[in-house]
Amino acid sequence: MNYSKKTVYDAPVAGKKVLLRCDFNVPQDKVTGEITSDKRIVAALPTIKYLLENGAAVIACSHLGKPVATFESYVKKQVEKGKKEEEVTRESWEKSLKKLTLAPVAKHLSELLGQEVIFAADTIGEDAKAKAAALQPGQIMLLENLRFNKGETKNDPAFAKELADMAEIFVSDAFGTVHRAHASTAGVADYLPAYSGLLVDKELSIMGKALDDPKRPFVAVLGGAKVSDKINVINNLLEKADTIIIGGGMAYTFKKAQGFEVGKSLLEADRIDYADEMIKKAADKGVQFLLPVDNICAAEFSADAEPVLCDGDIPADLMGMDIGPKTVELFSNAVSGAGTIVWNGPMGVFEFDKFANGTKAMAKALAESGAITIVGGGDSAAAVEKLGFADKITHISTGGGASLEFLEGKELPGVACLLDK
């Protein structure tokens, strides 16, 4: 896939209306609705400020959560959860939608920008269209939650065209959504010239270079729960990396393939043959393939469980929860001389303090490596931030699913639709 895309710097934005896709899918307090982290809003500020300062009228849009767009679908979902059809009311559906309004985001964005963010009560309705038509250069508005319209996730051309008709240029700055072919991420590009925002451009240039032309040695560190989630990632990286390190729950399927006992550890029995195949493929290609040599185990999956060090085989009554001290040393040594390191997925159950050491040690090793370090979104990004190493990492991706599909070498619909340089 071509990662070299035209950016907002290439777009003739002065005096133009710009439809800007942001990722304002922010976490909120379940009771008060208050935004608990504004990181994603702050991440969009450089692009928004550039557009406003260069005379664009900005029509920002985003999704928030997973609202059920039609009452009929809502009824169906509630019935699946065990409710009787006659008990499900339109009022409860409307209440569920109100919880996912972008109004608090508009308010917070206004405070961050120091200017009013005009809020539209709908996405392509009368209010949105009237406010978009009246919008002047240097002004910004935010549409209501895109997913309130069922045409968004279905990439309905009619919905995409109505969104596009409000603007003259499309700018994509929501990297966390570019792996989805939705109306606002890909569909609108059928009707408007499409450019990348500064956030998406940064992701493409850093991650694209890491995969296509890495400073070597190139080390990939993969963790997380399941082998099945990372099959395509491992396959793709075996063609590019010098060393692949496997930790987390997925490592036990590989250990089983090597003939070790894994006790009650997470195991995908239907992936053992695949794991064996990958170990052999790495050997054939001369790629160093590192697996845990010892583990921190426990009798139960609990924050209060007593850690037990297991060397080699894991007893039948225990489960692996983290990598052990010998493995920490092995993995840390492997990254210490790297030129480029990509990390996706924690080394253990880092949410439990007693089993966070492996993930913490990996984060520390990356921070001290002197290499170009890239941390994929999701759990590994959360771990690096929680453990206090975020400021020592070259790049932390803003996209969980998107960064994973990037590592798989997949074409991302929200990137493919942008204009090539």
Among 223, 248, 378, 414, which one carries the catalytic annotation?
378
Burial zone of 377 (CB within 10 Å; 0-12 exposed, 13-18 middle, 19+ buried): buried
113-138 burial: b if 16+ Cβ within 10 Å, else e = eeeebbbbeebbeeebbebbeebebe
Please confirm, yes or no, whether 90 is among the known catalytic residues.
no
- Whole-angstrom distance, CA of residue 224 vs CA of residue 351: 12
User: CB–CB of 119/102 below 8 Å?
Assistant: yes
Among 49, 161, 226, 326, which one carries the catalytic annotation?
226
User: CB–CB of 296/349 below 8 Å?
Assistant: no
Please confirm, yes or no, whether 40 is among the known catalytic residues.
yes
- Whole-angstrom distance, CA of residue 42 vs CA of residue 368: 27
CA distances 184 to 99, 157, 191, 204, 272, Å, are 21, 10, 11, 19, 40
Please confirm, yes or no, whether 216 is among the known catalytic residues.
no
DSSP string, 156-192: -HHHHHHHHTT-SEEEE--GGGTTS--TTTTGGGGTS
Among 138, 208, 339, 401, which one carries the catalytic annotation?
401
User: CB–CB of 57/97 below 8 Å?
Assistant: no
Q: Which uninterrupted H or E stretch holds 140?
A: strand 140-142
Please confirm, yes or no, whether 388 is among the known catalytic residues.
no
Report how far Cα 276 is from the mean position of its chain's Cα atoms: 29
Among 5, 17, 40, 264, which one carries the catalytic annotation?
40
**Nearest Cα to Cα of residue 187 among 151, 147, 142:** 151
- Residues with catalytic roles: 40, 226, 378, 401
